Copies of this chain bind each other. A is one copy, B any other.
Amino acid sequence: MIFTSDNAFGVSPEIFSAMERVNRGGVASYGDDDTTIGLSSLFADLFERDVAVFPVATGTAAKALSLATLTPPYGAVYCHENAHVNFDECGAPEFFSGGAKLLGVSGTAGKIDPDILSMRLKSARVSVHQVQPRCLSITQSTEAGGVYSLDELRRLTAIAKEFGLSVHMDGARFANALVALQCTPAEMTWKLGVDVLSFGATKNGAMGAEAVVFFDPAAAGDFAFRRKRAGHLFSKMRFHSAQLEAYLKDDLWLSNARHANEMASLLAGGLVAIEGISLSAPVAANEVFARLPVETFKRLMKSPARFYPWPNPADAAEGYRLQTIRLVTSFATSRADVDGFLALAAG
């Protein structure tokens, strides 16, 4: 009963097998192998247009390299105040960009409030005294378990374009959002104005494989140099590329994400049926944020179930009578895990 994070789980069998398949003989290293070269057409098909695609191994690298390519050292990246890039990467975007500034924008359910974003951008001025707005980073699905609708995304990207910002999408949980919205990858990205996507696979069944996708291949610019220089060009690249290939094959990525979302939905449904438990945010993808009576919380912490308490100002305001927790489901979460947790919660 592990609900700490989707990255607490291992690797989908299909992905593991794919790595085994490429473990034969000698091939060109550093990405000049056929598997890696083949990713270009795979991702072009997926997104219905030519793209430049670069495999890396961690989400931190995918995001920080993307932002550093889009933002000069004196530039500003606007993102949600709780966005991973702002809060959970130990300053990686600042490091990779040479000191660019992340500016957090507030908003409910982890979603950037478009009015606040717009107001902030209006008040920015062209002046050497301030960092200059250059990029908007949107997390889909959000750090608070939310999923932006296409209309919500369109509103944000329109504001970005109005003020000359490029748009980055942090897609650490891209598949979970996609199956939630039931749209195509193209509809959720470049058709709305997304310029660069950090495409996550690790949380959804890969071992350590992400891809940075530039929808305008020419804009990739010096990405390859930045990747090497940051130690993220792998010599035995075939193993990373094979993960991505298997991830996309036969829609494994979508069925993995669909399963995770369904488990979250079941979990949420079961929890709210229990007296005294509520959700602090609606469940849109594979994360459940639930508020428990503090006694229930304490009991669960001593149980074999694993999960994280989550900071929630409302809990403090109400004297910690209730405690918010985060439960993350994955491709590997079983129905039995969910039922087991619900039984524990019900006491």
Mark interface residues in A9-39 (1 if CB within 8 Å of B CB, else 0).
Answer: 1110000100110111111111000000000
- CB < 8 Å: which of B4, B91, B222 contacts A100? B91
Provide the residues of chain B in CB contact with A24, threshold 8 Å.
10
- CB < 8 Å: which of B59, B90, B98, B240 contacts A95? B98
Could you tell me the distance in whole angstroms from the C-beta of A138 to the nearest C-beta in chain B?
Answer: 20
A90 contacts B225, C-beta separation under 8 Å: yes
A92 part of interface (Cβ distance < 8 Å): yes
Provide the residues of chain B in CB contact with A227, threshold 8 Å.
128
Provide the residues of chain B in CB contact with A224, threshold 8 Å.
128
User: Are A233 and B91 also in contact (CB < 8 A) when A10-B23, A10-B25, A26-B9 are?
Assistant: no
Could you tell me the distance in whole angstroms from the C-beta of A236 to the nearest C-beta in chain B?
Answer: 6
Chain B, Cβ-Cβ closest to A226: B74
A156 part of interface (Cβ distance < 8 Å): no
A332 part of interface (Cβ distance < 8 Å): yes
Provide the residues of chain B in CB contact with A11, threshold 8 Å.
23, 236, 239
B26 contacts A90, C-beta separation under 8 Å: no
A309 part of interface (Cβ distance < 8 Å): no
A228 contacts B60, C-beta separation under 8 Å: yes
- Give this chain's copy count: 4
User: Are A128 and B235 also in contact (CB < 8 A) when A20-B16, A95-B73 are?
Assistant: no
A94 contacts B90, C-beta separation under 8 Å: no
Interface size counted on chain A using CB atoms at 8 A: 77
- CB < 8 Å: which of B5, B22, B27, B207 contacts A239? B207
Interface residues of A in 173-231 (CB under 8 A from B): 202-203, 207-208, 222, 224-231
User: Are A236 and B222 also in contact (CB < 8 A) when A98-B99, A130-B88, A231-B230 are?
Assistant: no
The docked-state distance in angstroms from the alpha carbon of A23 to that of B20 is 14
Provide the residues of chain B in CB contact with A64, threshold 8 Å.
231
Best-surrounded residue of A97, A226, A230, A240 (most CB of chain B within 10 A) = A230
Best-surrounded residue of A61, A92, A229 (most CB of chain B within 10 A) = A229
Further pairs besides A7-B235, A94-B99: 7, Cβ < 8 Å: A60-B230, A60-B231, A91-B99, A92-B228, A128-B227, A128-B233, A129-B228
Q: Which 9 A-B pairs have the closest CB atoms?
A: A2-B26, A61-B231, A94-B99, A7-B235, A60-B231, A128-B228, A74-B225, A10-B23, A8-B26
